[in-house]
Amino acid sequence: MPGDVLVLSEVFGPTIQGEGRHAGLPCVFVRLGRCNLDCRWCDTPYTWDWEHYDPATELTKRTVTDVLAEVEERAVSADTIIVVSGGEPLLQPEGISILCAQTDRAVHIETNGTRPPVEGVAWYSVSPKLLPSAGIARSKALKPMALKALAHEAGAVKLVVDPDKDEDLDVVWACEILSDYGWKRDRIDLMPEGATPARFAETRAYVEHMATVLQLGFSERLHVSLLGGGRGV
């Protein structure tokens, strides 16, 4: 496949970034298809779960030029950022590099931390799947070289916590591992698991308390609590 072609799930916006340290900023989402993990609570299974979704229906191939043209049609201002998510977007590093080179907008990447960074990205939101609730074997979720390389980039870690399955000690362990690879505590946020407003309301209070006790950051999920979650938000 040519390097300037992206395997795409959806482009949507204008909307707001719902998570992480840029929550609330205007953005257009470029959601790429495919993933190398299969998280138990994934809120975008239609990008990779081919037992329950049809890739012929869910995914298209589009050139970077075409994708950026749609981004410009959707952007509300010169400050609108591009958020490239997935799936796992860094499975398509060449296309992302070309996209970054062809736009003057800030490009933010949402990644699971198992693939190295590419040039030109303004911000990495790194969400390593190190906690039990994700259901990912440590050998698949923990890629030290990738995490070390990402730690040298502008960005922060966003740990998804399900208080029904993740203990405080699990989070402490994950923070220690991340610190070993260059991610200090002031760059680590906890985010409650919850793809619907009702579920987010159930998990938020405890995770916010956990973040306070452990002196970590806390990430909202504005696209869920304000917009209801689901596709296209």
Gap between the Cα atoms of 216 and 173, Å rounded: 13
Residues 6+ apart with CB under 8 A from 221: 18, 19, 191, 192, 194, 200, 229
Could you report the per-residue pLDDT of 152-181, keeping only the tens digit for each?
A: 999 999 999 999 999 999 999 999 999 999
Percent of the chain past pLDDT 90, that is, above it, reads 94
Has residue 98 been placed in a domain?
yes
**CB within 8 A of 115, min separation 6: which ones?**
36, 88, 90, 91, 93, 143, 146
Report if residue 232 sits inside a domain.
no
Residue 93, domain member (yes or no): yes
Instruction: For residue 154, tell me if it sits in a domain.
Output: yes
- Domain membership flag for residue 195: yes
* Count of domains observed in the chain: 1
Which of 2, 62, 22 minimizes the C-alpha distance to 219?
Answer: 22
Structural contact between residues 23 and 219, judged by C-beta atoms closer than 8 angstroms? yes
pLDDT digits (tens, 9 = 90+) for 9-50: 999 999 999 999 999 999 999 999 999 999 999 999 999 999
* pLDDT value of residue 233: 79
The string of pLDDT tens digits covering residues 57-110 is 999 999 999 999 999 999 999 999 999 999 999 999 999 999 999 999 999 999
140 in a structural domain: yes
> How far apart are the C-alpha atoms of 150 and 117, rounded to whole Å?
6
Residue 1 has pLDDT above 80, yes or no: no
- pLDDT digit string (tens) for 100-143? 999 999 999 999 999 999 999 999 999 999 999 999 999 999 99
Nearest to 187 by CA among 149, 156, 210, 213: 156
- pLDDT reported for residue 231: 81
- Identify the band that residue 7 occupies on the pLDDT scale cut at 50, 70 and 90: very high
What is the reported pLDDT for 87? 96
Tokens 């609108």 label which residue? 80
Please tell me the predicted confidence (pLDDT) of residue 140. Answer: 97
Report the pLDDT value the prediction gives residue 226, as an integer from 0 to 100. 81
217 pLDDT above the threshold of 90: yes
Whichever domain contains 100, its CATH number is 3.20.20.70
pTM higher than 0.85:
yes
Q: What one-character-per-residue DSSP string does 86-154 give?
A: SS-GGGSHHHHHHHHHT-SS-EEEEE-SSS---TT-SEEEE----SGGG---HHHH--HHHHHHHHTSS
Residue 231 covered by a domain: no
Inside any domain, residue 230: no
Per-residue confidence band for 3, with pLDDT thresholds at 50, 70 and 90: confident
Q: Confidence band (pLDDT; 50, 70, 90) for 228?
A: confident
Domain, as residue range, for 191: 5-225
